[in-house]
Chain A
Amino acid sequence: MTSKIVVNNIEPDAGISTVSILGIATATKFIGDIEGGVTGNVTGNVTGSSGSCTGNAATATVASGITTTASVNTSGIVTATAFIPTTGQLSHRNKVINGAMNVAQRNMPITSANGYCLDMFKLWDGMDSGVATVDQSTHSPDGFSKSFKVDVTTADTSLAATDYARIHHRIEAQNLQDLAYGTSEAKNIVISFYVRSTTTGTYVFSIEQSDNSNKHCVFNYTVNSANTWERKTFSIAGDTAGVINDDNGYGFTMYWILAAGSNYSSGSTRSTWTDKVAADSMAGQSVNLFSNTSNELFLTGVQLEVGTVVTPFEHRSFSDELSRCQRYYQQYVNPCCTGVIPDNGSKAYSIGLQFQKRMRAVPTLSITNAGTGGNVSDGQSTQFISTLNAADRNLDGASIYLNLAGDLGDFRPACLGLNDSTTNSTTYKFTAEL
């Protein structure tokens, strides 16, 4: 039997809050809040001012996409035929080379000013008396294995107005062209890093554009807890006025300030690209890391990416990072080479060396001897390398002229002794840093 009741309103009786339908209720339209499971197709817009969709939507098909200005969070797995960010890409997001501090080709601590220990990150020491040692450390946050360590060895408790110390990292300009700086489409960037310090307080992170008179952004961040890894993040709107040259110079320089005299710290922080003012460049730095020889600071997980959202650090393989670093520095210990003894009786030897990676610029060359230095044999006798004489170089290799401890037979080919000796070795260092 079928029946039909036509009404225009159903209300609960007095004292009853719920109207129950034990079977299936159908309608051409439902308006108002829906609680409990919904089966079948839902068409049209789902709206609400502050509510949320709860329950299991495992089989839902959303015909027109999900659009929200808020984050979408799930503890489950998200699959798709493609993931396409609105800005930037999923891989190769991080424009910082060696951000996890894994590569240290020089592999030796430095205590001198303005030098490299880890690849691509340099201590720039402008202190009149404070001294620090830089080394690669195994202190690291979970998911990392290395960090850049600054260990103060000579204190400077009273900073002069011109004192400063900072870590710096440069990014090659032609690797920043996708930022579209200098156009109306200039993109936002976000920067993140992990820092750990013995000394809590206010520090400065800043970034400069060398192609635009060092226009800069200057931020304060706080190390809240001593000896604890903390991740810091910063967001910078795109610069529609400052063009970054499409060349092999440096486009960005990032600075982590360790100490700052009043000449550099008395100004104001800058959250947007602003013409450089010296007093702003380290504004607000209250920590003097050089105040005590027990002070240390560690840095790792440095990332600069396009977009407005800070994403997890993009880990790359060691060989990938090493290869990137070799554009700026490479070294060879007792390489396998054959050269020639010229007829000049001056204890000379020349070799040709092909680089493993094309370098950014024609490199500076130096050699370092351990023990007696590497040996050279002409098949009859052997001599050791003493000093560098001269070198012809281009981006891909070098002809190197060496002075030997003694003379070998003139006009003869001679080969470098290929061995793993760390007692008697010569290291050839090629530098084309930014």
Chain B
Amino acid sequence: MAFPTNPIYKLVNHPVTGNLNSIRTADDRFIPIAEDNTDYQEYLEWAKTNTAEAAD
């Protein structure tokens, strides 16, 4: 099975503040906006050439 090369990300806003809270993946993982998080690092790499789906 090939490593996914174009995962789908969707932005998630905070339900109370309305600010950006997480990056949601296609398999429903909620990535924090945190530099040390390796999932967020992967997202940032992806976002250099892609655009995530906007928050609801």
Contacts and interface: CB of A to CB of B under 8 A. Distances in A.
**Category for how many chain A residues contact B:** 35 or more
A348 B15 contact: yes
Interface string B15-43: 11000011000011111101011111000
A388 B3 contact: no
Contacts of A367: 28
B1 A365 contact: no
Interface string A124-164: 11111011000000000000000000000000000000000
B52 to A, nearest CB: 15
30 contacts: A111-B1, A113-B1, A113-B2, A114-B3, A124-B3, A125-B2, A126-B2, A126-B3, A127-B1, A127-B2, A128-B2, A248-B36, A361-B34, A361-B37, A361-B38, A362-B34, A364-B31, A364-B39, A365-B29, A366-B30, A367-B28, A388-B30, A389-B12, A390-B15, A390-B21, A391-B22, A391-B30, A393-B32, A393-B34, A431-B39
B29 A360 contact: no
A363 B37 contact: yes
B14 interface: yes
A112 interface: yes
Given A364-B32, A366-B28, A390-B12, A433 B38 contact: yes
Contacts of B2: 113, 125-128
Contacts, number: 80
Interface of A: 111-114, 124-128, 130-131, 248-249, 342, 344, 346, 348, 360-367, 387-393, 401, 431-434
Interface residues of B, number: 23
Contact of A365 (B15, B16, B30, B36): B30
